[in-house]
Structure 1
Amino acid sequence: LSVVAENCQQGQLCESCDFFRELDNCQSAEKIPHFLCKSGQIFVNSSGYLLCEEGLLRLIGCQPGTTFELITKKCVKSRTAGRSKRRRRTAIGSSLVGDVCSFNTDCQQGMFCSSGNCQCLSDFVAVEEHCWPKINPGESGCANSKQCDAVWPDAICSTTGVCECPPATVPSRTRDGTVCISSLIPPSCPLPEPHNGIPNPATILANPSTHPLNPGGYMPVLCTSTSTEIHRSNGGDGSTWCVYPDGDNDIFVADIYDCISHPQVTNELFPEFHDTIDGICCQNRAFVCVQPMESGDEPSVPRWWFNSATGSCVQFTWDPTTIEGASPNNFRTVDHCESYCRDTCKRGAVEFTKSSAVIFEEQPKSGCLSSGFRCSHDHECVLIGSSQTCCPSTAHLCGPYGGRQYISKPILNYDRGVAIAGSKSTTRYYYDVERSQCVSFVYHGLGNFNNFVTKQECEVFCSRLVCTNGSPLRIGEDWQRCEASTECPSSHFCSTSHRVCCPTAQSICTQPKQSGDCTSTIRRYWYNAVTRQCEMFHYTGCHGNDNSFHSLVACQQQCKGIRAEPKCPNGRAYRDHLGKFVRCSPQTRCPPNYVCSYDGLTHGCCPTKAFTCSLAADKGVRCGLGRSYRYFFNAAKQACESFQYEGCDGNSNNFLTAQHCEQYCGVGGCPNGGFPLQEEKSVRPVACSGLKGCPSTHECVAIPSKGNVANRCCPTKEHICSQPPLAGSQCSSVTTSRYYFNLVTRQCTSFHFNGCSGNLNNFASKELCNNFCSSAACELGETVLKDPGTSRPFRCNSDLRNSCPPKYQCRFSKLLTYAVCCGSPVTDHCPEGERPYMVSIDETVKECSANIPGSCPAQFLCRFNLQKNKYYCCAPDSENFCPEGRALFRSRQTSLPHRCVLNFLNECSAGFSCQSRIKGVTQGFCCTERSVCKGDAQFIVDDGTKMPRICTPGLLHSCPIGYHCQLPKPHSTNGFCCKVDVDVITEGCPPTEYALTDGKKVVECDPFNSSRSCPAEFSCQFAVLFQRYQCCGKIPPDGSELSSRGKTKSGRTVRIR
């Protein structure tokens, strides 16, 4: 033995080792390492050792968490025990079961890389750290009994390397492989396996009343395993393969029943039959695996049943005495259930190579993907584990043939079969290809595979006939019908052959992973659109979605290149003509009305807010979700209104609630976010004006609402950024990282947000938080100037002139505790002489919709930019919105200017018209039709009304120094304070009066001589300073008052000095 241990070393060639096997003869009681040969190399089974007991070597397993150590020859604690992941090996193809991997090539033969770990293929079994092929009973090639037990419970590997059936059972060959049957009486089929060694003949094919050998009574259907006759029963004498004798009719069942040879089936025991009989007729592998679960009357024994709808094995309890309605879909272990039913075609029998000798020698066709041969027209090549198998196509299974090999096409689209012994008539469902739907029928037995226990199972399986991938769209209980793809939502297309809406690859592959809520554990694959990789997950057996594939290859073929759908603030991202989402970048720009947006995972083209809020309501396309009421922004009325939504598609102007609509489109909502202050009792918005202010936390802002504009108290940026962080309530499965302005550190800091019910001090990124809160001292439409090197606000000194660049003003920020420069940067978005409205949170220019009231803030107009092909909010960069000398109209209630459309119907009040300082534009403001003062002189604007100050001539202090009260008409009572010309002379006249001049000469007068009197508007006053009489008046003189001959308009002559 010492020589063996010395020669046998892991990794060396098997030829150098003399292997000891279980049950070999032995003498010494020494513990012997259990060496195995795999792929020509020596491996050690560290889970146990060989020990000599009663002259035979027995495999003794170590305790869980321990491994056999070669040096000490003891089971010691495993070094990897408790680790959740195994090590990563450097050599390609050297990783063992559980080791970390990245690709299939990292793992050894018989394995694949799943979720970062090496796992065995379905037709291999894990023997410690290695994967060994499963071996059928009666086949050679085993080295460990686990290879046999994984196929048939309690089967063992003999000393000659052949898998042997358990005690009291014998092997019997079928086309699907060797099965183990009880050798006892009465003869019984392999399944269900006997309980306590007592065979149950309930699943043997038998005729309850019409067998030719026993009319009116029970009679089993026996057969000859070496016969090739599959259509005629020869009177049911058993001289043929399995053919069901139904009186004078013979029913073909050779493709769903196997003739299984049995030691107790002989002519001596069954003298009524032909002398060649040697077998019983049992359901073959494919037919067994679609049978329903039958528990019996008094279930008590745990068993496993294969659910063909989910492709998984489910545990149940069974009454082993059941005779009526017994089902062969009944396994003692989950390994047996999976190897028998899961590791084959999902439904229907594999395609076999034809044999002219005996039927059980036919072999399944294999290698259809790699070799030159192809599957027949009604089969398709499927990769099952490491095998390439021809399985019935969905069209073959869900059609009239139902996956069977009938000689001629069935008359009906379904097969109700005939009543056999032990069967019960029951309601089943079949797929009707002519009606493209699942229909119920009464099933007796011996039917085909177009036969489902529930309508849902039928629709799930046969939907692949209608839709190549995924399930058809539903409206209630039925599939959504269509004639063209325009009748389906954009997530689906119309399958013209079946006229139903089928999901697109983009729709399938971007669905989230959905494990379901049942109790099974089924290996499936889903496409992670974020990582763009197919990943394994465990499906629980029900309530999943279409992003669930049976194999890694199927997942990769369907979803190759699919990108995750970008999440937009509202609406869906832009898609190309193939329905795929466009990924944008600095090099790949978005189409007009869309902007490149990043949702934290991917970039996409999202509809702009201006575009969204300008769209008309779109009811969308009818789909499975059904009709509901949504809200859209009516740009003409400047209000959010409800509309009936069909359930899918439509456009981005679609909101679940009126509040969301108003907040998004800026109607009724505040420009900095949130909503206006409300009265506590009436819950009505608080109105404000120049006379009635707002609390210190709010500011008076003009807000468009329902076609009107009203002044409301909105929260200031300072107030918003002073709020403490609020985690909110949990409304999603995960928390997200957000940012808030920290008053203590004066910086933006991250916090965890639960998803709902937070406050406004909540920003998606640190940059957005800094942009918004650093501009708290700025007016609406202004941003703060930043240092290009540090991206921090530029500090200024309000006591110094020109401490900020042109078009910026120095303002003190209470949040930052220092002064910053506020204004608008120089851009090419607006016409010359106007500034853009800057959105402070992202520092972009606000877009708008032309000719829609409220699209821009009160003092801004919607201007079209030809180069950018977009509309932007712009305002004059000076305080004067009208041409020189003209006055701006303002509302008495709100003091807001009135915007209007040029060269259109006059929307302005009497005496006003639509005008603009900028040429070539379509919008302007209501301005006075005539100049307020003569010669377009400057006038004073009243602080309260924001309109030209009204004055009364002759009234002391009616206008300040340098201004005089000018009447718009000769006999007007009131006028406006207009600026006096700098050349006007006041010396020698009383305060607030002006000297009459001719050119630059003061006109003298004589109060005692009427021929030298002053004009009517002037009086003759004595100027003490100059010791003369001169003409003085309340209104500054106009040079045109005198003629070149020195006469007044009345014809009087005055003296000029």
Structure 2
Amino acid sequence: MDYFCHIGDTEETTVCCPGKSDDICNEPRVPGTGQAYLNRYAFTPLTKQCLPFTYTGLGGNENNFLSRASCEATCPVISNPCADGEPAAGKDGQYLICSVSGPNICPVGYWCHVGADIAASLCCPGAQNACILPVAEGSGSATIPRWYFDRRLRQCATFSYTGYGGNQNNFQTLKECQEKCPELTNPCSMGDPAESLDGNILQCSALHPHCPTSYFCNIGVTSETSVCCPSFGEPCLSPLASGTGTASLNRWYFDQTLRQCLQFIYTGIGGNENNFLTAEACIQKCPVLRNPCPLDNITTNKNNMLSLIKCNVRNGYSCPLTYWCHIGGDADTTVCCPGASDPCQLPLSQGIITDNGPYTRWFYDRISGSCKPFQYAGISGNQNNFLTRSDCAKRCPEGRPITLISPISSSLLLSNLPVICPKGMPYQDENQIIPHCSITNPCPTNYFCHIGADISTTVCCKVTTFMSSCSIPVQIGHGTGHMERVYYNAALRQCVPFIYSGMGGNENNFLTLQECIIKCINNKSNVIQQFDIGKFLYSLHGNILKLQIDMID
């Protein structure tokens, strides 16, 4: 019979005992039947650990070691599967065996590492977000198919796990990976979305479009596709990109060739920065070619695109029939405009200011019969606009002033003259002539310039009140005309459009919104309220006023 050395509490109990085992590591742990309290270690086959226990000194077996070291040197203890630190243990010192399918028994700060077998399925230290960790193949020798979340691609992918030394980004199934780390279709056409310091994708919206430097806000259908994407550079220089999604979103882009903001359908993902929610946003950002003509069309306006015909003011045949050559500040604004007429019969039109204006031009004044200089804003003027006095005089011969109404007796005036003014007769000069009034020929004191339907009804009328013209009610008049005008509504404190009949109107009657604002709003508070009309306006005498526009409630 084989014997083993039983080490008891005393020399008397330290003897050779019968029953030597062929596999002492699989022997059960036996506390004994004595009265002593001895610190010993026994091997636990289930967890492959050498664990402490109290031996009573008598009746034990070979699975009884004086130290952990001697136990681990004899029996096949488990290799620690954790990459960082020891596995979690219970009160009895045994490692906590866990499984993904079972209840979560791992304490706070630990996660369930599932190895190749039950002995390697333990609670390992670590409390990080699994989705932001890199893939860790481990340091073992096994080949176990697993899934991990690819943070760059925002997708779950497969890898081979060696069984030891992995991290939390380690899933047994695709479903488990997707439930823990939601996959995302990358809405960016180039590169990955911007991320916060904690690894979350930076989302943005139309209300909050702010993104880090070198990123832009791709506004998709949902919050998941409305993220900060890598920038391509200048938006207005980027080509049209309809995207690669399935949505149908109305958007605007800048066409470099046409220099127009055009509408297109965006599919929600895979676009670039040349993508605007509104036409206004596109126009504000990109160098759009403005319509230089006084009307809302240039030559054709099809499918959202302006088709320009360039012209040469020195060549009278460079424009089609019924068109005239608008002389702008550059080649882009020197184009053929519709509505050709006799420029000598047209009033002065100073246009709308551009970034490069104003420009010194000449116009023909019918009243004085002479060519006079003026400051042209750059666009939206009329044909009575010449580069030089010589050009003006060649087209409109000087020295022929006109008299609108010949000297006649008061009785004839009273009997034949239509009632143009709202109060009394038009002003007559010392020669009993009723003169025409204009920007260059203002009315005398206590008279205002009534601008009628034509030159014959544009005369000086007596003021109807010595209060501000903005405080009196509007008068539509009693003529047969149908002219778009603007008046100041004192109750609303706004300039409001109306249709004027051409005769009988009072001073609260303005040709343009700008004129009304300058007269009635700006003069009252020195702040233009509720209207954004650009950086430049005009006074009633034709001088350019540079105003700071403030929007207030």
* TM-score interval, normalised by the smaller of the two chains: 0.3 to 0.5
Q: TM-score, normalised by structure 2?
A: 0.33
Q: TM-score, normalised by structure 1?
A: 0.20
**Richer in strand (by share):** 1
